[in-house]
Each structure stands twice: as C-alpha cells, then as structure tokens.
Amino acid sequence: MPERDEMMKAAVFMGPERMEVKEVPKPKCGEGEVLLEVKACAICGTDGRIYFHGQKNVVPPAILGHEIAGDIVEVGDGVEGYSPGDRVTVVTSIGCGHCGYCAKGLTNMCPDSKAIGYHYSGGFAEYMVVPAKGVRQNAVIKLPEGMPYEEAAMVEPLSCCINGQRYLNIAAGETVVVIGAGPIGSMHLMLAKTADAGKTIVVDIDDKRLKMVERFEPDRIVDGRDGSSVEKVMEETGGLGAEVVIVACGSHQAQMDALRMAAKMGRVSFFAGLPKDRPTITFDSNLLHYREISVFGAYASYRAQFVEALELISPAQGGAKIEAAKVITHRLPLERIVEGIVTTKKGEGLKSVIDFTGEYGT
C-alpha cells in the first residue's frame, strides 16, 4: 500500500451514472509539468452530459472537471515562470502547439486539441497535473491577488461566453435576446450588459430558471412555455426583431425561434450544441437570405479569452464588471459531486462549485 501522502481523494467517473469518490494515487509532477492542489472546481453542463451518457474523449476511469482554481504545489524540471504557492486557473483546450490555429493561440480550434477534464485528468480531485504541452502554451494563468477561488472557477465558463459573443459585435443600445436562463445564459446576459446592450430579454420555459434569472435584472423575462416567445420578442422590439439572439440551451425549437426573432442584419449565436443523435433543425432559409441574418457557432475558448474573463471578474483596477459569485448557487464538498450534477441538470440551481477549502459553506 502506498503511504497516505501519496494518495488523494478524487471523484472517478467509471461509466454512465457511475461516479466513485475514493482514494487514488496522487499524480506525480513530471518534467515540464505543474502540480496543482485544487481549491475549487465548478460543475459544467458538459460534466453532467458525460456523467449520464459518457463521451468519446473520456475513457473511464477518468477524472472530470475543467473549471478549475487552485494552488501550484510543485513545478517539474524545466518549468520557468511558476512557483509553488502561485494561485492559478487553467485553460481547458491544450493544442498541438504547431498548427495554424495554435500559431494564432486558438487552441480550441486545433484539430488535435485535447482538453483538461476530458483527455487529461481534471479538477474533481485534490490534486491534478497540468501536462507539459499545456504549461508550454501558458495554459496555467496566475490569479489576481485576493480573487476568491470560487470566482476563479467561473473564468472558464465566462471565457466560453466571450468566445461566443466575439462574433456578435454587440453595439451599444442593441437589443439582445438570450434563450436559456441557466448559468451560461445568465453569464451571456451579464456579458452583453458590459457591451452596453440596450434592451436585454431572457427567454426560458422553466419556472425555476425564469425566477432565478431575475437577479441579473434583464429588461424583460419571457416565459416561452406557450410557444409565443417569437411573438413576444417581436412585440418588445416594435415588430423589428432583436439585433442579437444567443441560444444558450441545447434546444431545436430555440434555434429555430432564434432565427425568426432576429432583426434584419441580426446576428445569432448557436452557442449550445444539440444532442449528437439528433443534430438537425429545419428553418426557412429565405429568412437568412432576405433579412441578411448571420448565424455563428462557438466552441470552448482559448487563453486570451481566459485573460479577458479574469479582467472582467477581477480587474486590476476598479470594480468587477461581472459579478461571478452571483451565478453560484451551490457549494459542495467533493463527496456530493453527483448531487451537484443532478441539481445542475434539473435546473434547480445555476452554478454548483466543488469547494475543496471548506470555507464557503453550502
């Protein structure tokens, strides 16, 4: 048996609906690598999908978790610029390091991109290693002094929203509709406000989420359960439609509605993916043609967007533009990770954070 200090507690994904929180060997810090003591790791909608259905890049036994904040406890040979004690977060997408996308820093688009919490062990464990390739790509990002770990765990999801909105070029005064009032929709709403969006409208079909989104003060909350969300948005915009529509839920209907509620020259983000066994929608293609509507995708994020997200949540100067803690509704110890995943899936909370410090309560 290894010594206790060579072991750590981890939530190990063993296959669909099988998560075991148990002692496993603590990872060793190899050459070029960095070893982190995880302090907070938030649960993503994707973690829930992996837990319930599995995922091709996640081979059990696996440790999930990619919304990470922690302390460096060891640096491997050859690592420069980092030291034990540094408080950090980690970029999820690790690129090959030599393709055209990687050359531009777009590791999320690298054909050989590998992700922390999927291909590599993630943050639902007391310790995790950042692979050497990631360290070379500066995937380890130091946190501003005093930034709470749980807020730092919100940097990854916000960076993904930044990636989605970079295509939308939201201008001051423009009407922005967000369909889906979950944690990601809420972050999109906050982010759109930092771009001085005019009227903000949030659409959802779930009671609890419609209620929870009030805290972010959108100008209008639309209950779409009766199928009238397009009409209601049209009403709110004098019949013109919204300049920007962001679909932050994996719904066929929401994607189709988004195209119908967009204004002429409107920009639409299909931010959330659809289930892979049913990824098709039908829509009137002439909507796009005559109304000059553009539709954009978004997948994960890259380092520069992590830095941007950090600056919004914890700026070097002035107050936070994004109050990240507002999205956190549950703080749980690692033992209760499945509860956190289920809470997220049922829409009973926004973000659940696994808290390794025990400082925040539940």
Instruction: By CB under 5 A, name the one of 29, 40, 44, 189 that touches Zn ion.
Output: 44
Under the criterion CB under 5 A, does residue 288 sit at the interface with Zn ion?
no
Q: How many CA atoms lie within 13 A of 253 on its CB side?
A: 11
Distance in angstroms (rounded) separating the CA atoms of residues 61 and 205? 36
**Considering the complex, what minimum distance in angstroms separates the CB of residue 156 from Zn ion?**
5
Out of 36, 110, 128, 179, point to the residue binding Zn ion (CB under 5 A): 110
Residues 65-104 that bind Zn ion (CB under 5 A): 95-96, 99, 102
Q: CB of 9: closest distance to Zn ion in angstroms?
A: 22
Only one of the segments 41-49, 199-207, 208-216, 322-330 lies at the binding site for Zn ion (rule: CB under 5 A); that segment is: 41-49
Q: How far is the CB of 70 from Zn ion (least distance, A)?
A: 16
Q: Which is nearer to Zn ion, 102 or 116 (CB)?
A: 102
Phi, psi of 361 (to 5 degrees): 70, -165
Q: Smallest distance from the beta carbon of 261 to Zn ion, in angstroms?
A: 27
Q: What's the rounded Cα separation, in Å, for the pair 41 and 69? A: 6
Q: Does residue number 332 form part of the binding site for Zn ion (CB under 5 A)?
A: no
Give whichever of 103 and 171 is closer to Zn ion, judged by the CB atom. Answer: 103
**Cβ 145 to Zn ion shortest distance, Å:** 25
**Shortest Å distance, C-beta 1 to Zn ion:** 36
∠ at Cα 51 (46, 55), nearest 5°? 65
328 alpha-carbon distance from chain centroid:
13
Closer CB to Zn ion, residue 159 or residue 255?
Answer: 159
Choice between 191 and 293, CB closer to Zn ion: 191
Phi and psi of 231, rounded to 5°?
Answer: -55, -45
- Chain residues binding Zn ion by CB under 5 A are 44, 95-96, 99, 102, 110
